[in-house]
Structures are given as C-alpha cells and as structure tokens.
Structure 1
Amino acid sequence: MESIIIHPKSKKQREALQNFLEAFNIPFEPSPYNPEFVAKIKESEQQIKDGKSTKIKTKEELKAFLNAL
C-alpha cells in the first residue's frame, strides 16, 4: 500500500482529518515540524518584510553574490 501526505491549512482541518482517520481505523502518524526550524523560517520571513534580503535576478548577479561570501 502507498502513503499519502496531507497538509491541513488550519487546526480545524487537522482535527477533522484526524477524526475521520480514527473513525475509519486508518493508522496515521502526526509529524510536527521541529520548533527550531519553524523559528528560523519565521525569522527569515520577518527579515524579508524588513527589507533585509538580497534579490538576485541574473546568473551574473548570483556569481558576484556567491564570490563575495
């Protein structure tokens, strides 16, 4: 049998899916994201909102950016 990965967009959807799976006795494994990973993503999103990011549009810009590291 194959697995299906489902990405609920809200707590309400997650709970409904979990109730459905339990009602039909379908085994499942909740897999939360690592909290450190989530914190890094949120920090990066805030940096983008604050304008602390670099936009790279061409291969030349990418090469220059990488060479400067």
Structure 2
Amino acid sequence: MEQQNIIIFEPSTSEETNALKAFAKALKLKSEVKEKPHNPEFVAIIKESQKQAKEGKVTRVKKENLKEFLGL
C-alpha cells in the first residue's frame, strides 16, 4: 500500500475554510476540521468580564453622553 501523505492548511477566513471543504468533498478526500483553541489568557479575561457583568459591576453610558465618555 502506498504511503499516505498528510497536508495541513491553515485558512485565515471562513471563505477559505469553505473553499477547502468544498475542494476536499469534490475530490472525495477524507478531511477533518479542527478549530484552534483560544488563548487561555484571553478566555480568562472574558470569563472575568462575564462574572463582573453578572454582579452588576458595569458602566452604563447614555447614548447622548457616548462621545464625551469616549473622549471624542
């Protein structure tokens, strides 16, 4: 039996991902999609923000005060 090669693509957009999936399907190639995990530091920041929001530790800005709040 001939040796099988593994080729890894890293698409940077959803359009590239969809094109590669369609290409593999058209050629009846076995394919597998693995998503890259998020950076653990980023995940920790998001979880902390979600916790703060649940605890009501948020800043609310009225639409008419938005420019002032942003310093524009």
Which bin holds the TM-score, normalised by the shorter protein? Answer: 0.5 to 0.7
| Structure 1: 4+ residue segments shifted above 4 A | none
**Structure 1 stretches lacking a partner, 5+ long:** 5-23
> Which residue of 1 is the match for residue 7 of structure 2?
none
1:39 and 2:53 aligned: no
Paired residues, what number?
47
**Structure 2 stretches lacking a partner, 5+ long:** 1-15, 19-28
Q: CA deviation at 1:27?
A: 4.6
Supply the distance in 2 between the matched residues of 1:53 and 1:64 (Cα, whole angstroms).
18
What is the root-mean-square deviation in Å for CA atoms of aligned residues? 2.4
> Which residue of 2 is the match for residue 7 of structure 1?
none
> Which residue of 1 is the match for residue 54 of structure 2?
49
Task: Report which of the two structures shows the higher radius of gyration computed on alpha carbons.
Answer: 2
> Which residue of 2 is the match for residue 9 of structure 1?
none
Supply the distance in 2 between the matched residues of 1:39 and 1:56 (Cα, whole angstroms).
25
Greater per-residue helix proportion: 1
Q: CA deviation at 1:63?
A: 2.1
Structure 1 residue identity aligned to 2:68: A
